[in-house]
Structure 1
Amino acid sequence: MAEFIRIYNENPNPKEIAKVIKVLQAGGLVIYPTDTVYGLGCDITKPKALEKIAQIKGIKLEKANWSFICNDLSHLSDYVKQIDSATFKILKRALPGPYTFILPGSKNLPKVFKKKKTVGIRIPDNSIIRTLVQELGNPLVSTSIRDDDDVLEYTTDPELIFEKWQNLVDVVIDGGYGGNEASTVIDLTEEPEVIREGKGSLDIL
Protein backbone atom coordinates (compact mmCIF):
# COMPACT_ATOMS: atom_id res chain seq x y z
CA MET A 1 0.00 0.00 0.00
CA ALA A 2 1.22 3.48 -0.87
CA GLU A 3 2.49 5.97 1.65
CA PHE A 4 0.52 9.23 1.86
CA ILE A 5 2.96 12.11 2.41
CA ARG A 6 1.94 15.72 3.02
CA ILE A 7 4.34 18.27 1.49
CA TYR A 8 3.77 22.03 1.33
CA ASN A 9 4.41 23.82 -1.96
CA GLU A 10 5.62 27.05 -0.29
CA ASN A 11 8.35 25.28 1.62
CA PRO A 12 8.86 21.59 0.79
CA ASN A 13 10.19 19.75 3.86
CA PRO A 14 13.65 18.27 3.02
CA LYS A 15 12.93 15.21 5.20
CA GLU A 16 9.75 14.34 3.30
CA ILE A 17 11.43 15.09 -0.05
CA ALA A 18 14.28 12.69 0.90
CA LYS A 19 11.71 9.96 1.67
CA VAL A 20 10.18 10.30 -1.81
CA ILE A 21 13.63 10.40 -3.48
CA LYS A 22 14.47 7.08 -1.82
CA VAL A 23 11.34 5.53 -3.31
CA LEU A 24 12.11 6.93 -6.79
CA GLN A 25 15.70 5.68 -6.64
CA ALA A 26 14.41 2.22 -5.75
CA GLY A 27 12.25 2.24 -8.90
CA GLY A 28 9.01 3.23 -7.16
CA LEU A 29 6.02 5.08 -8.64
CA VAL A 30 4.93 8.41 -7.22
CA ILE A 31 1.84 10.59 -7.66
CA TYR A 32 2.61 14.29 -7.17
CA PRO A 33 1.09 17.73 -7.69
CA THR A 34 2.09 20.04 -10.54
CA ASP A 35 0.90 23.51 -11.54
CA THR A 36 -1.96 21.82 -13.44
CA VAL A 37 -3.31 18.34 -12.62
CA TYR A 38 -1.80 15.63 -10.43
CA GLY A 39 0.71 13.44 -12.25
CA LEU A 40 2.06 9.91 -12.03
CA GLY A 41 5.76 9.42 -12.60
CA CYS A 42 9.03 7.63 -11.96
CA ASP A 43 12.76 8.12 -12.43
CA ILE A 44 13.43 8.02 -16.21
CA THR A 45 16.49 5.82 -15.64
CA LYS A 46 14.44 2.94 -14.15
CA PRO A 47 13.13 0.70 -16.98
CA LYS A 48 11.06 -1.54 -14.67
CA ALA A 49 9.26 1.47 -13.23
CA LEU A 50 8.57 2.76 -16.75
CA GLU A 51 7.14 -0.68 -17.63
CA LYS A 52 4.85 -0.53 -14.59
CA ILE A 53 3.43 2.84 -15.63
CA ALA A 54 2.85 1.54 -19.17
CA GLN A 55 0.95 -1.45 -17.71
CA ILE A 56 -1.18 0.80 -15.51
CA LYS A 57 -1.96 2.97 -18.53
CA GLY A 58 -2.66 -0.10 -20.67
CA ILE A 59 -0.16 0.83 -23.40
CA LYS A 60 3.08 -0.52 -24.84
CA LEU A 61 6.07 1.30 -23.38
CA GLU A 62 7.57 2.15 -26.78
CA LYS A 63 4.27 3.76 -27.82
CA ALA A 64 4.05 5.97 -24.71
CA ASN A 65 4.02 9.74 -25.24
CA TRP A 66 4.94 10.86 -21.76
CA SER A 67 6.61 14.08 -20.88
CA PHE A 68 9.85 14.55 -18.97
CA ILE A 69 9.64 16.81 -15.94
CA CYS A 70 12.80 18.88 -15.52
CA ASN A 71 13.79 21.28 -12.78
CA ASP A 72 15.02 23.95 -15.20
CA LEU A 73 16.27 24.37 -18.76
CA SER A 74 19.75 23.07 -17.92
CA HIS A 75 18.63 19.44 -18.51
CA LEU A 76 17.44 20.26 -22.01
CA SER A 77 20.70 19.55 -23.82
CA ASP A 78 20.72 16.03 -22.30
CA TYR A 79 17.58 14.96 -24.12
CA VAL A 80 16.88 17.54 -26.82
CA LYS A 81 18.74 18.24 -30.06
CA GLN A 82 20.16 21.73 -30.35
CA ILE A 83 17.37 24.28 -30.71
CA ASP A 84 17.46 27.72 -32.30
CA SER A 85 17.36 30.95 -30.34
CA ALA A 86 13.71 31.72 -31.25
CA THR A 87 12.62 28.38 -29.75
CA PHE A 88 14.77 28.94 -26.68
CA LYS A 89 13.19 32.39 -26.16
CA ILE A 90 9.70 30.83 -26.14
CA LEU A 91 10.82 28.26 -23.55
CA LYS A 92 12.40 30.95 -21.39
CA ARG A 93 9.25 33.09 -21.54
CA ALA A 94 6.90 30.21 -20.72
CA LEU A 95 8.79 28.16 -18.13
CA PRO A 96 8.33 27.32 -15.34
CA GLY A 97 4.66 27.19 -16.27
CA PRO A 98 1.67 25.05 -17.31
CA TYR A 99 3.08 24.00 -20.69
CA THR A 100 4.36 20.83 -22.33
CA PHE A 101 6.72 21.56 -25.21
CA ILE A 102 7.37 18.94 -27.88
CA LEU A 103 10.99 19.20 -29.01
CA PRO A 104 13.30 17.10 -31.22
CA GLY A 105 14.77 14.25 -29.12
CA SER A 106 18.52 13.69 -28.97
CA LYS A 107 20.54 10.45 -29.07
CA ASN A 108 20.85 10.54 -25.26
CA LEU A 109 17.24 9.58 -24.57
CA PRO A 110 16.91 6.60 -22.21
CA LYS A 111 17.13 3.27 -24.04
CA VAL A 112 13.38 2.59 -24.05
CA PHE A 113 12.73 5.93 -25.80
CA LYS A 114 15.59 5.62 -28.31
CA LYS A 115 13.25 5.30 -31.31
CA LYS A 116 11.41 8.49 -30.42
CA LYS A 117 12.06 11.46 -32.65
CA THR A 118 10.51 13.94 -30.24
CA VAL A 119 10.25 14.45 -26.50
CA GLY A 120 7.74 16.40 -24.38
CA ILE A 121 9.43 18.68 -21.86
CA ARG A 122 7.65 20.05 -18.81
CA ILE A 123 8.93 22.44 -16.09
CA PRO A 124 5.94 23.00 -13.80
CA ASP A 125 5.60 26.07 -11.62
CA ASN A 126 5.39 23.93 -8.50
CA SER A 127 8.14 23.75 -5.86
CA ILE A 128 7.34 20.20 -4.71
CA ILE A 129 7.88 18.46 -8.04
CA ARG A 130 10.80 20.69 -9.06
CA THR A 131 12.57 20.09 -5.74
CA LEU A 132 12.09 16.34 -6.23
CA VAL A 133 13.64 16.46 -9.71
CA GLN A 134 16.49 18.66 -8.50
CA GLU A 135 17.32 16.32 -5.61
CA LEU A 136 16.93 13.22 -7.77
CA GLY A 137 19.44 14.62 -10.27
CA ASN A 138 17.56 13.66 -13.44
CA PRO A 139 14.06 14.14 -14.85
CA LEU A 140 10.94 12.18 -14.00
CA VAL A 141 8.83 10.67 -16.73
CA SER A 142 5.30 11.93 -16.20
CA THR A 143 1.73 11.24 -17.24
CA SER A 144 -1.41 12.86 -15.86
CA ILE A 145 -3.82 10.73 -13.89
CA ARG A 146 -7.16 10.88 -15.56
CA ASP A 147 -10.44 10.04 -13.95
CA ASP A 148 -12.97 7.50 -15.16
CA ASP A 149 -15.66 10.12 -14.67
CA ASP A 150 -16.40 11.90 -17.96
CA VAL A 151 -17.54 15.08 -16.27
CA LEU A 152 -14.63 15.38 -13.86
CA GLU A 153 -11.74 14.54 -16.10
CA TYR A 154 -9.14 14.93 -13.36
CA THR A 155 -9.42 14.24 -9.62
CA THR A 156 -8.28 17.28 -7.65
CA ASP A 157 -8.52 15.95 -4.08
CA PRO A 158 -5.33 14.12 -2.97
CA GLU A 159 -7.26 11.97 -0.48
CA LEU A 160 -9.53 10.67 -3.24
CA ILE A 161 -6.49 10.10 -5.44
CA PHE A 162 -4.90 8.10 -2.63
CA GLU A 163 -8.08 6.05 -2.18
CA LYS A 164 -8.08 5.11 -5.84
CA TRP A 165 -4.34 4.61 -6.45
CA GLN A 166 -3.01 3.33 -3.11
CA ASN A 167 -2.52 -0.23 -4.36
CA LEU A 168 -0.93 0.75 -7.68
CA VAL A 169 1.80 3.20 -6.61
CA ASP A 170 4.34 3.56 -3.79
CA VAL A 171 3.76 7.17 -2.71
CA VAL A 172 0.95 9.69 -3.09
CA ILE A 173 2.05 13.23 -2.24
CA ASP A 174 -0.62 15.42 -0.73
CA GLY A 175 0.34 18.86 -2.01
CA GLY A 176 -3.12 20.33 -1.53
CA TYR A 177 -5.93 20.44 -4.07
CA GLY A 178 -4.77 20.08 -7.68
CA GLY A 179 -6.15 21.76 -10.77
CA ASN A 180 -8.53 20.12 -13.22
CA GLU A 181 -7.14 21.64 -16.40
CA ALA A 182 -4.18 19.98 -18.11
CA SER A 183 -1.15 21.77 -19.54
CA THR A 184 -1.13 23.48 -22.92
CA VAL A 185 0.83 21.31 -25.38
CA ILE A 186 2.86 23.12 -28.03
CA ASP A 187 4.92 21.44 -30.74
CA LEU A 188 8.12 23.40 -31.37
CA THR A 189 9.83 20.91 -33.69
CA GLU A 190 9.08 23.23 -36.62
CA GLU A 191 6.80 26.28 -36.62
CA PRO A 192 5.04 26.51 -33.21
CA GLU A 193 1.83 24.47 -33.33
CA VAL A 194 -0.69 24.22 -30.51
CA ILE A 195 -1.61 20.53 -30.06
CA ARG A 196 -3.84 20.98 -27.01
CA GLU A 197 -5.06 24.19 -25.43
CA GLY A 198 -5.00 23.86 -21.65
CA LYS A 199 -4.14 26.05 -18.71
CA GLY A 200 -1.29 28.08 -20.26
CA SER A 201 -1.95 31.29 -22.20
CA LEU A 202 -0.88 31.38 -25.86
CA ASP A 203 0.59 34.88 -25.49
CA ILE A 204 4.02 33.33 -25.08
CA LEU A 205 4.20 32.46 -28.79
Structure 2
Amino acid sequence: MLHPVTPQQRLVDKAVAILKAGGLALVPTDAGYSLAWCLESREAEERVQRLRELDSRHPFTLLCRQLSEAGRLARLDDRAFRLMRSLTPGPCTFILPASPDLPKRIKNAGRSKRRDIGIRLPDHGVTRMLLESIGEPLLSTSLVLPDEEHPNSHEAEEVANRWLRWVDVMLDAEDCEPGPTSIVDCTGDEPVVVRQGFHPVAL
Protein backbone atom coordinates (compact mmCIF):
# COMPACT_ATOMS: atom_id res chain seq x y z
CA MET A 1 0.00 0.00 0.00
CA LEU A 2 1.36 3.41 -1.00
CA HIS A 3 0.67 6.69 0.73
CA PRO A 4 -1.41 8.76 -1.75
CA VAL A 5 0.39 12.04 -1.00
CA THR A 6 3.91 10.99 0.03
CA PRO A 7 4.39 7.57 -1.61
CA GLN A 8 7.27 5.31 -0.64
CA GLN A 9 10.03 5.66 -3.25
CA ARG A 10 11.12 2.00 -2.98
CA LEU A 11 7.63 0.81 -3.98
CA VAL A 12 7.48 3.26 -6.86
CA ASP A 13 10.93 2.09 -8.01
CA LYS A 14 9.68 -1.52 -8.13
CA ALA A 15 6.84 -0.44 -10.40
CA VAL A 16 9.28 1.50 -12.61
CA ALA A 17 11.38 -1.65 -13.08
CA ILE A 18 8.29 -3.66 -14.06
CA LEU A 19 7.14 -1.02 -16.54
CA LYS A 20 10.60 -0.72 -18.11
CA ALA A 21 10.63 -4.48 -18.56
CA GLY A 22 7.47 -4.20 -20.65
CA GLY A 23 4.91 -4.65 -17.89
CA LEU A 24 1.38 -3.38 -17.50
CA ALA A 25 0.39 -1.40 -14.39
CA LEU A 26 -2.70 -0.18 -12.57
CA VAL A 27 -2.05 3.38 -11.41
CA PRO A 28 -4.17 5.75 -9.31
CA THR A 29 -5.09 9.11 -10.79
CA ASP A 30 -7.31 12.06 -9.95
CA ALA A 31 -10.08 10.43 -12.03
CA GLY A 32 -10.00 6.78 -11.05
CA TYR A 33 -7.41 4.07 -11.59
CA SER A 34 -5.99 3.62 -15.10
CA LEU A 35 -3.93 1.09 -17.01
CA ALA A 36 -0.46 2.40 -17.88
CA TRP A 37 2.54 1.15 -19.84
CA CYS A 38 5.72 2.46 -21.47
CA LEU A 39 5.65 4.01 -24.94
CA GLU A 40 7.74 1.23 -26.48
CA SER A 41 5.92 -1.65 -24.75
CA ARG A 42 4.09 -3.05 -27.75
CA GLU A 43 3.30 -6.31 -25.92
CA ALA A 44 1.65 -4.45 -23.00
CA GLU A 45 -0.39 -2.41 -25.46
CA GLU A 46 -1.53 -5.53 -27.29
CA ARG A 47 -2.64 -7.00 -23.95
CA VAL A 48 -4.75 -3.89 -23.35
CA GLN A 49 -6.27 -4.14 -26.82
CA ARG A 50 -7.22 -7.77 -26.23
CA LEU A 51 -8.66 -7.11 -22.76
CA ARG A 52 -10.75 -4.16 -23.88
CA GLU A 53 -11.42 -5.55 -27.39
CA LEU A 54 -9.99 -2.44 -29.06
CA ASP A 55 -8.68 -2.20 -32.59
CA SER A 56 -5.27 -0.79 -33.49
CA ARG A 57 -6.73 2.64 -34.29
CA HIS A 58 -8.03 3.26 -30.78
CA PRO A 59 -6.28 6.34 -29.32
CA PHE A 60 -4.60 6.07 -25.94
CA THR A 61 -3.81 8.96 -23.61
CA LEU A 62 -0.30 10.11 -22.77
CA LEU A 63 0.41 10.81 -19.11
CA CYS A 64 3.00 13.58 -18.73
CA ARG A 65 4.95 15.06 -15.84
CA GLN A 66 4.80 18.70 -16.88
CA LEU A 67 3.82 21.11 -19.63
CA SER A 68 7.29 21.15 -21.18
CA GLU A 69 7.03 17.40 -21.74
CA ALA A 70 3.57 17.78 -23.26
CA GLY A 71 5.02 20.45 -25.55
CA ARG A 72 7.45 17.93 -27.04
CA LEU A 73 4.62 15.55 -27.93
CA ALA A 74 2.02 18.05 -29.12
CA ARG A 75 1.92 21.43 -30.84
CA LEU A 76 0.92 23.94 -28.18
CA ASP A 77 -0.01 27.42 -29.36
CA ASP A 78 -0.26 30.24 -26.80
CA ARG A 79 -3.98 29.67 -26.29
CA ALA A 80 -3.61 25.94 -25.60
CA PHE A 81 -0.58 26.53 -23.37
CA ARG A 82 -2.44 29.06 -21.22
CA LEU A 83 -5.47 26.81 -20.95
CA MET A 84 -3.42 23.78 -19.95
CA ARG A 85 -1.47 25.82 -17.44
CA SER A 86 -4.73 26.93 -15.81
CA LEU A 87 -6.26 23.43 -15.67
CA THR A 88 -3.27 21.23 -14.85
CA PRO A 89 -2.36 19.21 -13.02
CA GLY A 90 -5.92 17.96 -12.81
CA PRO A 91 -8.59 15.56 -14.10
CA CYS A 92 -8.66 16.89 -17.64
CA THR A 93 -7.63 15.31 -20.96
CA PHE A 94 -6.56 17.61 -23.80
CA ILE A 95 -6.87 16.67 -27.46
CA LEU A 96 -4.00 18.41 -29.24
CA PRO A 97 -2.33 18.40 -32.67
CA ALA A 98 0.51 15.89 -32.64
CA SER A 99 4.08 17.16 -32.79
CA PRO A 100 6.39 16.07 -35.61
CA ASP A 101 8.61 14.77 -32.78
CA LEU A 102 5.96 12.32 -31.54
CA PRO A 103 7.62 8.88 -31.18
CA LYS A 104 7.31 6.94 -34.42
CA ARG A 105 5.48 3.99 -32.87
CA ILE A 106 2.75 6.28 -31.51
CA LYS A 107 2.56 8.40 -34.65
CA ASN A 108 2.10 5.37 -36.89
CA ALA A 109 -0.40 3.52 -34.67
CA GLY A 110 -3.34 2.16 -36.62
CA ARG A 111 -3.83 2.52 -40.36
CA SER A 112 -2.91 6.17 -40.76
CA LYS A 113 -0.53 8.64 -39.18
CA ARG A 114 -1.93 10.16 -36.01
CA ARG A 115 -2.74 13.85 -36.40
CA ASP A 116 -3.84 14.48 -32.82
CA ILE A 117 -3.21 12.99 -29.40
CA GLY A 118 -4.70 13.00 -25.92
CA ILE A 119 -2.53 14.30 -23.09
CA ARG A 120 -3.06 14.35 -19.32
CA LEU A 121 -1.09 15.82 -16.42
CA PRO A 122 -2.66 13.90 -13.52
CA ASP A 123 -2.85 15.38 -10.03
CA HIS A 124 -2.13 12.34 -7.88
CA GLY A 125 0.97 12.00 -5.73
CA VAL A 126 1.67 8.36 -6.64
CA THR A 127 1.39 8.70 -10.40
CA ARG A 128 3.28 11.99 -10.41
CA MET A 129 6.16 10.32 -8.54
CA LEU A 130 5.96 7.37 -10.93
CA LEU A 131 6.28 9.68 -13.94
CA GLU A 132 9.17 11.56 -12.35
CA SER A 133 10.95 8.32 -11.47
CA ILE A 134 10.56 6.69 -14.88
CA GLY A 135 11.55 9.93 -16.63
CA GLU A 136 9.22 9.63 -19.62
CA PRO A 137 5.51 9.79 -20.49
CA LEU A 138 3.35 6.71 -20.14
CA LEU A 139 0.50 5.54 -22.31
CA SER A 140 -2.76 4.97 -20.47
CA THR A 141 -6.40 4.02 -20.83
CA SER A 142 -9.45 3.70 -18.63
CA LEU A 143 -10.68 0.51 -16.95
CA VAL A 144 -13.61 -0.31 -19.21
CA LEU A 145 -14.20 -3.92 -20.15
CA PRO A 146 -16.31 -4.74 -23.24
CA ASP A 147 -19.45 -5.59 -21.24
CA GLU A 148 -19.32 -2.53 -18.98
CA GLU A 149 -20.70 0.99 -19.39
CA HIS A 150 -20.00 2.67 -16.04
CA PRO A 151 -17.42 0.59 -14.18
CA ASN A 152 -16.20 1.35 -10.68
CA SER A 153 -12.63 2.49 -11.28
CA HIS A 154 -11.92 4.53 -8.14
CA GLU A 155 -12.39 2.07 -5.27
CA ALA A 156 -9.08 0.24 -4.87
CA GLU A 157 -10.51 -3.05 -3.60
CA GLU A 158 -13.02 -3.30 -6.44
CA VAL A 159 -10.34 -2.41 -9.01
CA ALA A 160 -8.02 -5.09 -7.60
CA ASN A 161 -10.76 -7.73 -7.67
CA ARG A 162 -11.57 -7.02 -11.30
CA TRP A 163 -8.16 -6.27 -12.80
CA LEU A 164 -5.27 -7.61 -10.73
CA ARG A 165 -5.21 -10.97 -12.58
CA TRP A 166 -4.47 -9.18 -15.87
CA VAL A 167 -1.69 -6.76 -14.87
CA ASP A 168 1.87 -7.07 -13.58
CA VAL A 169 1.65 -4.53 -10.76
CA MET A 170 -0.91 -2.35 -9.00
CA LEU A 171 0.14 0.84 -7.25
CA ASP A 172 -2.47 0.57 -4.52
CA ALA A 173 -2.99 3.99 -2.97
CA GLU A 174 -6.45 3.25 -1.57
CA ASP A 175 -9.53 4.83 -3.12
CA CYS A 176 -9.06 7.82 -5.41
CA GLU A 177 -11.31 10.46 -6.96
CA PRO A 178 -13.95 9.12 -9.37
CA GLY A 179 -13.78 9.76 -13.09
CA PRO A 180 -14.11 10.32 -15.89
CA THR A 181 -11.87 13.21 -16.85
CA SER A 182 -13.22 16.21 -18.68
CA ILE A 183 -12.07 16.28 -22.31
CA VAL A 184 -11.10 19.53 -24.01
CA ASP A 185 -10.52 19.53 -27.78
CA CYS A 186 -7.85 22.08 -28.70
CA THR A 187 -7.48 21.12 -32.37
CA GLY A 188 -9.98 23.67 -33.77
CA ASP A 189 -10.23 27.43 -33.88
CA GLU A 190 -11.42 27.55 -30.25
CA PRO A 191 -11.13 25.02 -27.40
CA VAL A 192 -14.30 22.97 -26.94
CA VAL A 193 -15.33 20.84 -23.97
CA VAL A 194 -16.46 17.59 -25.58
CA ARG A 195 -17.06 15.80 -22.26
CA GLN A 196 -17.63 17.16 -18.79
CA GLY A 197 -16.07 14.86 -16.23
CA PHE A 198 -16.69 14.24 -12.55
CA HIS A 199 -15.10 17.67 -11.98
CA PRO A 200 -16.56 19.88 -14.74
CA VAL A 201 -14.39 22.57 -16.33
CA ALA A 202 -15.27 26.04 -17.56
CA LEU A 203 -13.33 27.63 -20.41
Give the TM-score of the pair, scaled to structure 1: 0.89
Match of 2:32 among 28, 37, 40: 37
Deviation per residue, 1:165-196 (Å, 9 max, x gap): 22211011211112332000000112111111
- Secondary structure at the residue paired with 2:22? coil
Deviation at 1:65, TM superposition (A): 1.5
Q: Give yes or no for contact 1:31–1:171 (8 Å, CA) kept in 2.
A: yes
Alignment partner, residue 117 of structure 1: 115
Percent identity (aligned): 31
TM (norm. structure 2) is 0.90
2:89 match = 96
Q: What root-mean-square deviation, in Å, do the aligned CA atoms of Structure 1 and Structure 2 show?
A: 1.6
Q: Is the 1:146–1:153 Cα contact (8 Å) retained in structure 2?
A: yes
2:96 is paired with a residue whose SS is: strand
Q: Residue 130 of structure 1: CA displacement?
A: 1.1
Letter in 2 for 1:192: P
Show the counterpart of 2:69: 75
What amino acid is aligned across from residue 50 of structure 1 in structure 2? E
Q: 5 Å matches for 1:1-205?
A: 6-61=1-56, 63-81=57-75, 83-114=76-107, 115-146=113-144, 148=147, 150=149, 152-190=150-188, 191-203=190-202, 205=203
State the one-letter code of the partner of 2:129: T
User: Stretches of 4+ moved more than 2 A in 1?
Assistant: 107-113, 146-150, 152-157, 178-181, 199-203
Residue type at the aligned position of 1:56: L
Q: Is the 2:27–2:34 contact (alpha carbons within 8 Å) kept by the matching residues of 1?
A: yes
> How far apart are residue 76 of structure 1 and its match?
1.6
Mean Cα displacement is larger for which, 109-118 or 33-42?
A: 109-118
Query: What count of residue pairs does the alignment treat as equivalent?
Result: 196
TM-superposed CA distance for 1:34, in Å, is 0.3
| Secondary structure of residue in 2 paired with 1:156 | coil
